[in-house]
Amino acid sequence: MTTVDISLPLSHIPVSESAHPGLGLKNRKILIVADDRAKVRSLCEILRPAGYAVSDVNSGEAVMDSYAQFDPDLLLLDVALPGVHAFEICRYLKNLRGPDAATVIFIASRSEPAEVVDGLAAGGVDYISRPFREMEVLARIRVHLLNRLRLAQLHKEDKAKSRLLCMTAHDLRNPLVSVRALSHLLRGGAAGAVTPDQRDLLDTIYDASQSMLDMVTELLDRSVLDAGELKLTLQPASLAALVVSCVKLNNATATQKNSTIVLECGALPEQLPLDAPKVRQVLNNVLGNALKFSPPGSTITVATAMTATECTVAIRDQGPGVRASERDRLFKDFSRASARPTAGESSTGLGLSISYKIMQAHAGSIRVENLPGGGAEFRLVFPFAG
């Protein structure tokens, strides 16, 4: 990554890009949105000699056309613009273009604190005001453009890292599959009789490779999601049948921990548009966690219900609950909470973030609340149009 020192004192900031090459600011495009010609002229006089490509537009109504044509890196947006308010333009632009939208600096004649706050809340990053002081205007623009470049660079690197993670996880899977399969064959006597001690060692190899395989699969899911490749195939499916099958599947794990899963089947619509394998993944993840984090001998309750607008699956455990300070980051990547599995089970801290993305992609949600008597309730909500 290119690191750029932006901590230069103002007096050392070069006016012309050619005096300070390599920052990537030369010919960066700035669109001035103002109907006051004097403002436009004086800004052009400052910006053009500094090596920026400058264009201008005199109304809020015309700004999107100019934006599309000119594709600016930065907008200087006059708060005194007649017609559509500058903050509205900024908000619209940020909603439309997301993180790729041009950086917005407002041109203000006076800076009332409330107005400043509103402008920053609308997505602007700074203000400049008249009389324009050349050094200050250039310094502010320079800082914000450099931040923009850095952010773009970070996004690019983040994507590259996701790709690398995806490839690594993918390449690690097959050898693990083989270690698991070969230890399975060995312990089954495929290469001759095994003693109880050898069998015990082979069981350990088998379990360790299984647990690594689960972790690598989660990593892979996560990196696929990061690369924006979460594609749902929505088909009418029965949520109730999915819940029942996941409860059955997890019953084996529950039995090992002497725990019980109780299913309280409330009414659910016969069919919902779902990506069944992905929803199964979410259910298995949340149910798996409930078992993992509850002490042996616990009762996990899975309850389904529906209203006129949504269907819910609530999974209640008897674990330590989720600390208030951890609730917000629980659904973020690698965010293992302070709670630990109670029987040494493995966890990458990715399962819930994957579940979160899958639920979001279904226009649904996943939330967690602590239960008054202890334990936590994870609630999966699917929208339902009557």
Partner 1 sequence: MKLTGKILVVDDEAHIRKFVTLFIQSLGDLTVLQAANGLEAREIYERERPNLVLLDVNMPRVDGLQTLRSLKELDPHCTVLMLTSLVNRQTVEECLRLGALGYLRKDNPPDEMIAQLRRILTTALAPSPPKVA
Instruction: Return residues touching partner 1 (CB under 8 A).
Output: 170, 173-175, 177-178, 180-182, 184-185, 190, 213, 220, 233
Q: Considering beta carbons, is residue 135 or 181 the nearer one to partner 1?
A: 181
Instruction: Please tell me the distance from the alpha carbon of residue 71 to that of residue 66, in angstroms, as a whole number.
Output: 8
Q: How far is the CB of 225 from partner 1 (least distance, A)?
A: 14
Q: How far is the CB of 182 from partner 1 (least distance, A)?
A: 5
Residues 107, 79: contact at Cβ < 8 Å?
Answer: yes
Q: Considering beta carbons, is residue 4 or 201 the nearer one to partner 1?
A: 201
Instruction: Please tell me the distance from the alpha carbon of residue 247 to that of residue 263, in angstroms, as a whole number.
Output: 8
Show the beta-strand stretches assigned E in the chain.
29-33, 53-57, 74-78, 103-108, 126-129, 235-237, 260-265, 272-274, 299-306, 310-316, 365-370, 376-383
Residues 355, 222: contact at Cβ < 8 Å?
Answer: no
Q: Considering beta carbons, is residue 113 or 192 the nearer one to partner 1?
A: 192
**Could you give the dihedral angle defined by the CA atoms of residues 56, 61, 67 and 73, in that order, rounded to the nearest 10 degrees?**
70
Q: Considering beta carbons, is residue 175 or 383 the nearer one to partner 1?
A: 175
| HSE-CB of 45 using CA atoms within 13 angstroms | 9
- DSSP for 160-182 reads HHHHHHHHHHHHHHHHHHHHHHH
Q: Considering beta carbons, is residue 217 or 335 the nearer one to partner 1?
A: 217
Instruction: Please tell me the distance from the alpha carbon of residue 178 to that of residue 172, in angstroms, as a whole number.
Output: 10
Q: Considering beta carbons, is residue 25 or 220 the nearer one to partner 1?
A: 220
